[in-house]
Structures are given as structure tokens and as C-alpha cells.
Amino acid sequence: MAPPKIHKNFIHGEWVESVSGEAFENLNPANRQELVGLFPRSTAEDVNRAVESAREAQRSWRLFPAPKRGEILFRAARLLLERKETLAEQMTSEMGKVLDETRGDVQEAIDMTFYMAGEGRRQFGQTTPSELANKFAMTVRSPIGVCGLITPWNFPMAIPSWKIMPALICGNTVVIKPANDTPLSTYNLVSVLEEAGIPRGVVNLVTGYGRDVGVPITAHPDVRVVSFTGSTEVGREVSKACAPDFKHVCLEMGGKNAMIVLDDANLELAIEGAVWGAFGTTGQRCTATSRIAVHKDVYKQFTAILVERARALHVGNGLDRAVQMGPLINESQVQTVERYVEIGKNEGAKLLTGGQRLTGIAYDCGFFYAPTVFGDCDPKMRIAQEEIFGPVVSLIPVDSFDQALEVANGVVYGLSSAIYTRDVNKAFRAMRDLETGIVYVNAPTIGAETHLPFGGVKQTGNGHREAAVAALDFYSEWKSLYIDYSDRLQRAQIDNQ
């Protein structure tokens, strides 16, 4: 058996060891006996070196013409496209989700990189008439500086691309810390950027644990921008750490996303959406469908078919083309799901299917859990209020459209929501009244596209958005320019009376 590949940090354009000399294992969650690779267990000193490299590189990168930055990203996108299948297979090995989904993850990185490459020629400002004669006024975008990026394990290439590419196209430099469970995919993304010709120090990769790498990134005085995707609890700590220095902070955090199924819905379509929304990525998405409010007139029929479909899902190693749902990411996540299943039982919810760890020859070396459906849930139950991040969905019977809206809005999160109905009036009311950053009509709660803003309200985020042009607003500052060619003092409002 070949020895595992030993990976390094990427600092100042070079692949280097951590100063600690230590490493951590990246294991396949479908088979804990398979070591994907070894990665540096970095320290605050590694972070300091990376930030210093990024700070020095930003002096010249900010002056590099934005269209030329875009050309580098375009080359990177082409390389990602050429290597899509290999990158997807490696992602499945380290993260577990099925190949169709990891192909989609890589494709999202491709899409984002192509999109932001184009933004190199579209960082438009505004020109506007001055209120005074012989005076010109306009706005331009300006880069901010070093960006500290902290990313999760569930979309290990897509989400880093959401952060890296808009930061770079705006003229910033980056230091990125990927999740410990999935460093390889971010390593691959950074490797592609290096091959595409990104200048020395513009992109830096530091792997390690949150307390050793993530905390020093957020606290470093030369890091002017922090973008974090993860739990609300950790996001709150990130916000506190960045507040004293008034850093730009983008927080993408938890979700408890609801699907509404009305009595006039296309039931087969709604069930397909529920299965995909609840069990895609093994429920390990911030946009996963974890609650379904179903009108009482179709509740019994919907529930019976959904339970049947959940039981029929083929769970296993995501590299197997026949598998429909892969493992959970690690033992801790299995224990979290087990704990919430017990909470649901104790609260009086009806366990209709699943509710146990999968065992047997195909499962004993991995973190596999059965697709789980709870029925007759009260919307105030903890399993219907708190994020589980696993293949668990709660069905909530409702009497009316208005009650369904109350159920959907009755949580502290506000990321994504969906409604299935043929009534255009109710669809438009739902689009207006659902308290989420994303609303789907006759589609599940998952499936964002890169050219639209991504993010949520309430305790899901802090008001910023990722992807699309909205990302440029986070990674740049607006600068207003006034050019007076009157050759005399003009005092704005004082001389404009």
C-alpha cells in the first residue's frame, strides 16, 4: 500500500511545513481505515507568516489591473473544468457525499471562478452630475487588504471559491483556513490558482485547528476582512473577536429551513423535492430541508410516500455510482444526530423511519446513519427548532396557508424556504412574507446559483451576502471622487443656495 501523501501549507508562493512539525489525519468518512492524507497542524506563527506575506503582496496586487486579475481566474476556471472528475472523486473520498454532488461542488467552483473572472471588467462605479458648475463626481471600488477566510467541510471547494474569487478580483489578498475534515479540496483549489499564475503571496493556505489557526486569523491586526461560514455559535465568537478592530465581517451560519406543501401542490414533485432537500448531502447543508409543513388534507398521503422513499434510499460509499446518500462527516456528527433523535422521541414526535446508525460489513468502518423521518411534530419541538445537520426531517401538519407561514417563520434562523403550490397568489404572498434570504417556489430549499446573492436573515447571518455582484460589495470599499475644474473655491451646499 502506497504511503499517504503529505501535504503542506502554501505561504508566500511556496509549499512549506508548519513550524510545529506536526500533522493531522484526513480520513475517508465512508471508511475510517482509508487515510486520504496528512496535513500540517499549524500554529499562530504560521498564521503570522501567511498574513505578512499577504500584506506585502497586496501592495502590488491592488495595482494589478482588474481585467488582468480576471485573466488569471479564467485560466484557473479552465483548469478546474479539465480536472473536474478527478477533483470530484478526491472530494468524495474526504467528505463522503456522492459523486453527483461532488461534481456539482466542483462545478460551483468553476462557475464562481468564471463569473468573478468576468467581474474584472465589470467593477462599475457611478458617475453623476455635480450640484455645482465645472465639477465632476463619480465612485470607484477600492480593495480593502488582507482577507481571512474560514470555511466549512460540507462544500469544501465551492464555499472557498465563493470567498477567494471575489476577494481576489477586487484586489485583496487572502489567507484561508479550510475545515479539518476536508482540507484536500481547498488544497486542490489553491494548487490550481498557483498553476494559473497567481502572484507570490496573494493566496495563502494554512491548515489546522480553529483555536490554533482560526482564532489567530480573526485576531490578527493586519487582517482587515474576515469571512466565516459555520455554526451560529462559532460565528458569534468570530463577530466578537473582530469587533474591537472594526473589521469587515461576513457571517454565514445556521439554518432550519422549512418547506410548505399546500393541498393544491403537485404532490409527486413535492415529495421528490423533500427527499432531495432533506437527504441530499446527508442533510449536511445549511440549506437542508429539515422541516416540512404539510396541509392536513394531503398530510397522510404525503407522509406515507415520503417514508417509503426515505426507506428506499441506497446509503453507502459515495464513490459507488449506485449510492444515493453517503456518510456523515465524522463520529461527532453521528452523536449529534443520535442525540437529537432521542430528543425527538422524548418530545413525543413519531419516529416513522430511520433513527439509527447503520451497521454491517458495508457500514462498520464509516459514519453511516439511516434517513430519518419524524411525523406529527409540534413546531415548537426542539427537533423542529434547532439545526441538526444530518438526515433528519420533521413533518408538521398545518390547517391553512397562514398557519404554514407562521410555522416557517417561527425559528431564529432565516436562510432558505420553499413552497409547493399551484396558486400563484399564495406563491407571491409566500415570496413576500417568508422571512428568509432565499425562497423557492415548487423547488426544494437547496440549490443556489452563483450569479444570485446567497445568505440569510435573523441568526443565519449578519446582513452580508456571498456570490454574485453582492460579494463585490463586501470585498471592496466605495470611494467617492470629486474633481473640481472651476479653478476657484466652491463650497458645496454653502455656494449652492
487 conformational bin, left if phi > 0, alpha if psi -120 to 50, beta if neither: left
Largest interatomic CA distance in the chain: 85
SS3 for 236?
helix
Closest by CA position to 73, among listed 148, 174, 150: 174
Closest by CA position to 43, among listed 226, 182, 221, 208: 208
Asked if residue 17 lies in contact with residue 8, where contact means CB atoms within 8 angstroms, the answer is: yes
Sign of the alpha-carbon torsion through 30, 34, 36, 37 = positive
List of residues 6+ apart from 319 with CB closer than 8 A: 30, 89, 92, 93, 99
- Residue 252 among the catalytic residues: yes
Closest by CA position to 329, among listed 96, 16, 489, 110: 96
Of 170, 242, 250, 286, the active-site residue reads 286
Sheet holding 289-295, edge to edge: 350-353, 372-375, 392-398, 289-295, 257-261, 416-420, 438-441
Asked if residue 420 lies in contact with residue 317, where contact means CB atoms within 8 angstroms, the answer is: no
Task: Count other C-beta atoms under 10 Å from residue 491's C-beta.
Answer: 8
Give the end-to-end CA distance of the chain in Å, rounded to a whole number.
Answer: 83
Closest by CA position to 316, among listed 326, 328, 302, 304: 326
Q: Helix axis angle, 99-118 relative to 66-82, nearest 10°?
A: 160
Instruction: Tell me the three cell numbers of residue 158.
Output: 465551492
Burial class (CB in 10 A: 0-12, 13-18, 19+), 312: exposed
List of residues 6+ apart from 346 with CB closer than 8 A: none
Full DSSP string of 313-358 = --BS-TTSTT-SB---SSHHHHHHHHHHHHHHHHHT-EEEE--SB-
Asked if residue 472 lies in contact with residue 451, where contact means CB atoms within 8 angstroms, the answer is: no
Name the β-bridge partners of 205: 10, 176
Q: What is the 3-state secondary structure (H, E, C) of 397-452?
A: EECCHHHHHHHHHCCCEECEEEEECCCHHHHHHHHHHCCCCEEEECCCCCCCCCCC
Of 52, 194, 252, 466, the active-site residue reads 252
The CA distances from residue 450 to 208, 259, 306, 463, in Å, are 28, 22, 30, 18
Closest by CA position to 252, among listed 470, 97, 90, 30: 470
- Residue 250 among the catalytic residues: no
Report the C-alpha gap between 32 and 5 in whole angstroms.
Answer: 16
Mind telling me the catalytic residues?
Answer: 252, 286
